Each structure stands twice: as C-alpha cells, then as structure tokens.
Amino acid sequence: MMHRRSIIRVLPATAALLSGLRMAYAETYLTTEQAQRLLFPRESLQAVSVTLTNDQRKAIAKASKVRVREDTLSAWRTSSGGWFLADNVVGKHEFIDFALALTREGTVKGVEIMTYRETYGGEVRHPKWRAQFAGKKASAPLELDNDIKNISGATLSSSHITEGVRRLLQTWDLVLKHL
Amino acid sequence: MFKRYTSLSVLVLAMTSAPSLFADENLFGYTYGSETLPKGRSEFYTWQTFRLGKESGDYLGWDQKYEYEWGITDRLQASVYANFNYVDIKGVPGFQDRSDMGFQGMQVALKYNVLSPFKDPIGLALYIEPGYVARDRGTGGDMDGFELETMIILQKNFLDDTLMWYTNIFGEFAWEKIEGEYGHGWGPTVFSGLTYRFAPNWFAGVEGHWDSDFDGFQAHDFQHYDLFLGPVIHYANQSWWATLSVQFNTESGANTPGSSLNLDDHERMEVRLKLGFEFDAKEAKLPEIASGKSAAFVSTK
C-alpha cells in the first residue's frame, strides 16, 4: 500500500498552489441595449425578423469563406437605415458575443464585444484593435495579417471576430440591403 | 559500443514514456498541440498516470508529474517539472516484489510556436526537453540517467477550430546507468489525436501512439514497437481544465511469451488524468496597431 506519509507531504503543497488560483467567471461588458445606445446614440432601433434560407446561407458562406452556423439573425434597423447586428463566434471553450453596427451604405460603424468568457484573448476588446474594422465594407479582405492586425497571444479570438465581421458584412450585402 | 542491460529492458521502459512537456491547455493525455502560453501567463499542471496489468501477477504503476509553465514571449514558453513514481508489484515474473514510492526525476523544457493553427494553414511548434532520471518507472529500481526529448508538433483545425487534429513526431535519447551497467538508446514515437468540441467547455476524441525502442543508436538496434489507442475527454473553463485519457495496449512487435503484447516493458492499459490551473497573470500589453485610431468607432457622418 502507498505510504501515508507520502500523501501527507503532497497535500499541503497542493493546497498552497491551489490558493494562488484565479477564480474567473464570464464577463458581460455590454448588454444588447447598452451596445445599441453606444453604437447608435441618437437613433431609434426596430427589431427585424430575418431567417436565412438555405440558399442564402450557402451564398454567405461562399462569399465570406466562413461557416454560417445559425439561420436566424438578431437584427435591428436604425432610423437612418443602418443596421445593428448581435452575433457570436466560437471562442476557445465557449462563445464570444459581439455587436456590429453598419451604416445605411453597409460600412462598418463600430464593433463591440458584449460578453467574453475565455481565459486568454480578451485583448480583442481593446478599442484600438476594434477600430481597425471602422469603415470596412463587404468588399474588404478582412483577414488577419492582411488588413486586420493580429494580436499575438490572442490569435484565436482575433481570427474568429474578424471572420464574424466578414460573415455579417456579406450577410448585409446579400440579404439585408435588399430588405 | 555499449552494454546491453541484463535486467528487463528498463531503458526501454524509461524511453517509451510519453513526453512530459505541457504547453497550455492539454486537450489530450499524450498528444500535444502547437499553441504556447501568451507572454506573462503561467500555469500549473499535474498529471497522474496509472499503468495496469502485466501478463500475470499483480501490477500497478503510478506516475506523478508536477509542472510549472510560463510564457516567455507569445511564441516561446518554458516549463520545469518534478516526477514521482509508485509501484505495487506482486508475483509478476521478471519483476521483484515491492510497494513503494520515490522521486523519479526532473526536466526542463522549451517550446517554440512557429505557425499558428488559427491563421496559418497548419500549426507548427518545436520542442526540446532535457532531464534527469533517478528511478525506473516500471520496476521502481534506482537508476542514474540523462534523457533528451525532442518533438515536432503539428496541428490542423477544422470547423471553426472545434475539430482539432494533433500529430507529434517525437524522439527520445537516453544515456543511463542501471545496476552498474551503462547503456544508451533512443525511441522514436508518433502521437496522434483527434478531438471535437461537442458542447461548450467539453471536448471528446481519440488518440494513440506508436512507439519503438532501439537499444542503441543504430538501425540494427531495433527492439520492438507498441501501439496504444483509446478515448479521451476534456473539460475546461476560465481557470482550470481536466483531461482523462485511457490508452489500451493493442499491438506489439515483440511479444511476451504467451501474450501478443509487449508486457515486459508496458502494461495492458494506462489511465491518465491531467489537471491544469492558471495563476493570476498580468494584463497582456496590446501591440501597436497600424491604424493609430483610439476610438471604438469612427462616425461616417
């Protein structure tokens, strides 16, 4: 049988190490309503029910080179004809909730990270990184190490947020602008 | 020239252990991914491996590793770890009966990320780990050895990085003294695993490893090969993660009499539990962004 003294020696060391653990939890930085007020401070928004057809999903996936996981959009049209889209992308363990604001012409007005649940990669919340998307259109490449700078140490989050914006811009170009 | 061991291939057993390097979150028990810890981050790992079943008799081997790992840069991480070993052996032919625990060795390691699986066509990392071995994991006997492990780590992700395939090409070189005899050899191994995120925080998959033993550094020194396969499950949240892997000894190129498996140097199965914990870390510094804009957004009006 295992020597009891061995177990007794290991336990205090393990407890000491565990005491240094960071107890983290999901961070919700903005609710949908807060993100709407931040991105469209002087406009009213009206929810629009949009469900993508299979053909639309395929067209968006082909144009953006990104999988379309859901067929229902969380979309609001603004009083000026712009769009507020709430969406999520895959994080390392869970999902990253973000919001995209588009002008009437389909140009990115802003990107906000609403909820971030991961251990690493939270630097995508930094305003300087998100500001890279401002002014982008559906015709933009929106690729890391191309027109979007990567954040070293946060590559997965940077990549997926960039792909999410690219997918939503194609969604606007192929579906929303025709509504 | 080198001397062969008269005892059961203790060098083989030492060399056919899985690499003991940890690099950030381990989705598998035995196979490694190409990611590294971000600069300034650190983690503590423990892995507990239970090796069970010889051809006859009662055999339990319990290997314990405790590791601290930190990110030197966003591409380079270092690790240091200490190993302990417990064996409980009774009536196993070729093994001395014993039941005790002892210090097994220490290693240091460096892992460098070359390509990212999230933005490059494939993930690639290079790994090196020198170490000292003080105890034979299989028999519990004393030994005095130096090992050098090297590895090429490949990773390919699919389906928005929810399906991940890892493959490691591994080589372990050893110089050891056991029961007064010196010897050296190496053991090339290939590890591979496939895992899928089937629910938030949960991954499940399969992994295996093909390992071989050379009782020297020449091609004619080949001794045997072994193939292990089995399931793996992984859970993670923001502050800790756990991985449980079971590996079954399915095939061998050198057989124990009466068995189709190499049960002199290995056991019928291995069960490995890994736990990883992140410590408080400094906020990573955001690199300069070329656009220079500091506002969250720019009005187009």
For residue A141, give its domain range. 25-178
How far, in Å, CA of B44 to CA of B88, rounded?
28
How far, in Å, CA of A24 to CA of A18, rounded?
14
Q: What is the pLDDT of residue B89?
A: 97
The interface residues of chain A toward chain B in range 69-108, judged by CB-CB distance below 8 A, are 69, 89-90, 92-95, 101, 103, 105, 107-108
How far, in Å, CA of A133 to CA of A110, rounded?
7
Q: What is the pLDDT of residue B242?
A: 97
Q: Within its chain, how far is the Cα of B196 from the centroid?
A: 20
Kindly state whether residue A50 falls inside one of the protein's structural domains: yes
Q: With 0-12 CB in 10 A as exposed, 13-18 as middle and 19+ as buried, what is B68?
A: middle
- For chains A and B, CB pairs below 8 A equal 142
For A158-174, what is the mean pLDDT? 97
Q: What is the pLDDT of residue B31?
A: 98
At B11-33, the pLDDT tens digits run: 444 343 333 333 378 999 999 99
At A122-135, the pLDDT tens digits run: 889 999 999 999 99
Kindly state whether residue A163 falls inside one of the protein's structural domains: yes
Kindly state whether residue A14 falls inside one of the protein's structural domains: no
- For residue B256, give the nearest of B246, B267, B269, B247 by alpha carbon: B267
Q: How many domains does chain A have?
A: 1
Measured between CA atoms, the residue of chain A closest to residue B203 is A93
Contact check, Cβ <8 Å, B38/A120: yes
- For residue A168, give the nearest of A90, A96, A111, A121 by alpha carbon: A111
At B27-80, the pLDDT tens digits run: 999 999 999 998 999 999 999 999 999 999 999 999 999 999 999 999 999 999
Question: With 90 as the cut, is the pLDDT of residue A3 above it?
Answer: no
What's the gap in Å between the CA of B48 and the closest CA on chain A? Answer: 13
Question: With 70 as the cut, is the pLDDT of residue A4 above it?
Answer: no
How far, in Å, CA of A169 to CA of B199, rounded?
27
What's the gap in Å between the CA of A67 and the closest CA on chain B? Answer: 8
Kindly state whether residue A58 falls inside one of the protein's structural domains: yes
Q: What is the pLDDT of residue B3?
A: 34
Measured between CA atoms, the residue of chain B closest to residue A1 is B99
Contact check, Cβ <8 Å, A94/B294: no
Of B100, B119, B162, the CB nearest to A145: B119
Decide which of B186 and B238 is more confident: B186
How far, in Å, CA of B186 to CA of B172, rounded?
5
Q: What is the pLDDT of residue B109?
A: 98
pTM: 0.83
Q: Which residues pair with B33 in a beta bridge?
A: none
Measured between CA atoms, the residue of chain A closest to residue B98 is A1
Kindly state whether residue A81 falls inside one of the protein's structural domains: yes
- Asked if the C-beta of A29 comes within 8 angstroms of chain B's C-beta atoms, the answer is no
Contact check, Cβ <8 Å, B38/A89: no
Q: Within its chain, how far is the Cα of B283 from the centroid?
A: 29
Q: Read off the tokens for A40.
A: 């469209």
Measured between CA atoms, the residue of chain B closest to residue A40 is B299
Q: If pLDDT is split at 50, 70 and 90, which confidence band does B7 have?
A: very low
Kindly state whether residue A36 falls inside one of the protein's structural domains: yes
How far, in Å, CA of B172 to CA of B72, rounded?
25
The alpha carbon dihedral of B221, B222, B224, B226 has a sign of: positive
- Asked if the C-beta of A115 comes within 8 angstroms of chain B's C-beta atoms, the answer is no
How far, in Å, CA of B166 to CA of B172, rounded?
19
Q: What is the pLDDT of residue B189?
A: 96
Q: What is the DSSP string of B174-229?
A: EEEEETTEEEEEEEEEEEEEEEEEEETTEEEEEEEEEEEEESSSSGGGEEEEEEEE
Selected residue of A119, A150, A165, A167 to mutate for chain B interface (largest B Cβ count, 10 A): A119
- For residue B24, give the nearest of B137, B123, B132 by alpha carbon: B123
At A52-64, the pLDDT tens digits run: 999 999 999 999 9
Question: With 70 as the cut, is the pLDDT of residue B301 above it?
Answer: no
Q: If pLDDT is split at 50, 70 and 90, which confidence band does B255 have?
A: low
Of B88, B119, B290, the CB nearest to A159: B119
Whether the Cβ atoms of residue B133 and residue B14 lie closer than 8 Å to each other: yes
What's the gap in Å between the CA of B204 and the closest CA on chain A? Answer: 13
ipTM (interface predicted TM): 0.79
Kindly state whether residue A164 falls inside one of the protein's structural domains: yes
- Asked if the C-beta of B286 comes within 8 angstroms of chain A's C-beta atoms, the answer is yes
Chain A residues with CB-CB distance to B237 below 8 A: 24, 93
What's the gap in Å between the CA of B113 and the closest CA on chain A? Answer: 11
Measured between CA atoms, the residue of chain A closest to residue B297 is A110
Question: With 80 as the cut, is the pLDDT of residue B290 above it?
Answer: no
Contact check, Cβ <8 Å, A22/B284: no
